[in-house]
Amino acid sequence: MAIPCPPFIGSEKLSVESGAMSPSSPSPLILTQDELKKIAAYKAVDFVQSGMVLGLGTGSTAKHAVDRIADLLHQGKLKDIVGIPTSKKTHQQAVSLGIPLSDLDSHPVVDLAIDGADEVDSNLNLVKGRGGSLLREKMIESACKKFIVIVDESKLVAHVGASGAMPVEVVPFCWKFTQDTLQNLFDYAGCVAKLRTDNGGEKIFVTDNGNYIVDLFFEKDIGDLNVASGAILRLAGVVEHGMFLDMATTVIVAGELGITIKNK
């Protein structure tokens, strides 16, 4: 059953104490990056209600959210949840935790998706896919009513591509031609395109969909993101790219001084 999400709190800041959120003074504790991720994930799960169809994200931050959802189901605090996983890895995790699963064919409208991101800019545009699941993530998260992104403060950037790779999923056929075309497309930004590999370069990384990923590294800001998106998607060998533009409705950022909630 699809039901509306609760309204999101506006510009909210919460301090962190012993791994929990508290509206008190900043915590003197120094938290690890994984602890910050867990705090952000748990805060996002506060918005989950019984009866929701949920997009279950992929990655080290989203994993904490999936674990938390399962805990609340087992405690009876959540009921009638249906999860739609964004990767084979998340599917395996959810099955092992007993979360009921489905897909977009059966549930074409998703109430809420919770996922991490590799980068978040000031307009809440994202880079995702450094873990390799960008296509399924984008399919599910573009079908949801609300999309909560959970990150630690290291993911905040001045512009898309500032901290590392912007992934592009491509078909294996003539992948080098597609890679070279992508690099030339962004020559003005000092782009270097590299095919993603596994095991220290011994074999090509293959996505859940049987495709390859070309990672684009930029020396400069690529400019208008919608123009860049359209140019990439017009290339015949491209399946999808890792820019998630105007999709996030809320970003929850965990930092050493607390939680910040940014709304679209």
Tens digits of residue pLDDT in 179-203 = 999 999 999 999 999 999 997 888 9
Write down the pTM of the prediction: 0.88
- Give residue 200's pLDDT: 80
- Give residue 183's pLDDT: 98
Nearest of 64, 31, 48 to residue 259 by alpha carbon: 31
Q: What is the dihedral of CA 88, 94, 100, 103, to 10 degrees?
A: -20
Tens digits of residue pLDDT in 58-88 = 999 999 999 999 999 999 999 999 999 999 9
**pLDDT band with cut points at 50, 70 and 90 for residue 21:** very low
- Catalytic residue flag (residue 17): no
- Give residue 30's pLDDT: 81
- Give residue 199's pLDDT: 75
Tens digits of residue pLDDT in 89-102 = 999 999 999 999 99
Tens digits of residue pLDDT in 142-183 = 999 999 999 999 999 999 999 999 999 999 999 999 999 999
**pLDDT band with cut points at 50, 70 and 90 for residue 3:** very low
- The active-site residue out of 137, 141, 169, 240 is 137
How many CB atoms sit inside 10 A of residue 204's CB? 13
